[in-house]
Amino acid sequence: MAFVANSLSNLPVTSGSIFFVDSGASRASDGNAGRDPNVPMATIDAAVARCTANNGDIIVVMPGHDENPTTSITLDVAGIWVYGLGWGASRPTITFGATAATLAISAASCRVSNLVFDLGTVAATITVGITITGADCIIEDCEIPSHATSQFTSMITTTADADRLTLRRNRFRGLAGTAGAVGITLVGCDDLNMHDNVVSGGFSTGTVAQITTAANRVHIYNNFLVNDSAFYALDVHDSTTGLIMNNLIGSGAAFGATLDPGNTWPAQNFAVDVADGTVTGAVIPKTGSS
């Protein structure tokens, strides 16, 4: 598809460089400079290699782009923004082609927006969808759709170096039952800002779990978290501090085991432990609703 000059006028303003990636373009090649949307690069990895650290560089991933990594797409240049264009089924998609495939964010201050992460035809468990080890990163407006047969062991996994992480307005959906271990695995993450996400599926550890390493000053609010299994929907480390507020939580666990707020300030979180419509949510922590 050819683009006229004013068709990309709503791109973010930046002082850095803009690179275009579009696997569906007839002239797509990783050997291209990628500065023209009609002569784009074919992969995100190739565009990352052209970026300059902390320069405000943006990688624009065009509607309909479909990338099939067998190992990793690695964001190892600090301060870049991978910006997906499109909506609905036209959004750019990362279709995982092997069990070890992942989006690995190792550099600081990287931002990923409006991408779909799909399990495609892989009839197996993908270990991790997104691995975050860099600080000050943002994942926003992304989606993991539910797959008919396959799942992630963890949709997102961080390390303790991923401080000041922002997760906002994402939709992550796994299989029911006890298909995956955890939806989002938070290891540490001081100053976490997690809001307005939908995370659902059947998880044997938790929908959102931070149980190995404590964090300071987390803010987890306005999320919809569902665990179809009899385990926590939200479980943070006993020594984690911060605020957990206005989350809507559903779990197959007993009411008191749907949320473990650690040492945070919990406020106006509503939980329900029965999915058949016979009970409504109640404020937690408190006596069970069913």
Give me 50's structure tokens: 């052209």
Predicted local distance difference test score (pLDDT) of residue 179: 61
* 165-187 average pLDDT score: 88
- Domain membership of residue 57 (yes or no) is yes
**Cα distance between residue 202 and residue 196, in whole Å:** 20
Predicted local distance difference test score (pLDDT) of residue 288: 46
- Domain membership of residue 1 (yes or no) is no
Q: Report the share of the chain in percent with pLDDT over 70.
A: 90
Predicted local distance difference test score (pLDDT) of residue 122: 64
Handedness of CA 177, 181, 184, 189 (dihedral sign): positive
CATH code of 177's domain: 2.160.20
**Cα distance between residue 234 and residue 208, in whole Å:** 5
pLDDT, one tens digit per residue, over 5-30 is 445 667 888 989 999 999 999 999 99
**Cα distance between residue 138 and residue 104, in whole Å:** 13
DSSP secondary structure of 106-155: -STT-EEES-EEE-TT--SEEEEEEEE-SSS-EEES-EE---SS-EEEEE
* 62-69 average pLDDT score: 93
- Start-to-end CA span in the chain (Å): 56
Count of domains observed in the chain: 1
- Domain membership of residue 54 (yes or no) is yes
Residue 241 has pLDDT above 80, yes or no: yes
- Domain membership of residue 173 (yes or no) is yes
- Domain membership of residue 49 (yes or no) is yes
Burial class (CB in 10 A: 0-12, 13-18, 19+), 239: exposed
**From edge to edge, which strands make up the β-sheet containing 265-267?**
18-21, 58-61, 81-84, 111-113, 138-140, 166-168, 193-195, 218-221, 242-245, 265-267
- Domain membership of residue 147 (yes or no) is yes
Residue 63 has pLDDT above 70, yes or no: yes
CA 231 to chain centre: 21
Tell me the residue range of the domain where 164 lies.
13-284
**Cα distance between residue 266 and residue 221, in whole Å:** 10
Residue 47 has pLDDT above 70, yes or no: yes
- Domain membership of residue 6 (yes or no) is no
Predicted local distance difference test score (pLDDT) of residue 123: 57
- The 8-class DSSP code of residue 28 comes to -
- Domain membership of residue 289 (yes or no) is no
